[in-house]
Amino acid sequence: MKTDYTHITLVLDRSGSMESMRGDAIGGFNTFLKDQQAAPGAATLTLVQFDDRYEKPYEFAPIASVAPLSERTFVPRGSTALLDAVGQAIEETGGRLASLPEHERPAKVLFVTLT
């Protein structure tokens, strides 16, 4: 296990109901990202954006390579499928972590849902 390595999976609600709080969601994500990029140690991030679709703009990406969200990259639309998205993200993250050799696994895993 890598004691200085953290993996973060962040599930971000992009459904139409998020339109009224779009700026808050972008700001919250960007603040979280900046804090994590400044934290000591290595980190990777998987970003899941969901509505009636499930998309991963980043998957186990080095945290330094993850760009802040903008009005162009976070566009609320569609309907909410929260349970499907969270369940799929948990399964995919768990599968990916299980496939890593023990010495490459992160000591910490954060699972964040922003809705």
Q: Where are the domains of the chain?
A: 2-114
pLDDT band for 21, please (50, 70, 90 cuts). very high
CB contact at 8 A, 105 and 4: no
N-terminal to C-terminal alpha carbon distance within the chain: 31
- pLDDT of 58 reads 98
Render pLDDT for 23-64 as a digit per residue (tens, 0 to 9): 999 999 999 999 999 999 999 999 999 999 999 999 999 999
Tell me what percent of the residues of the chain surpass a pLDDT of 90.
94
- Residue 100 pLDDT greater than 90, yes or no: yes
- Residue 80 pLDDT greater than 90, yes or no: no
Supply 110's token pair. 């954060």
Q: pTM of this prediction? A: 0.89
**Domain with residues 2-114, CATH architecture:** 3-Layer(aba) Sandwich (3.40)
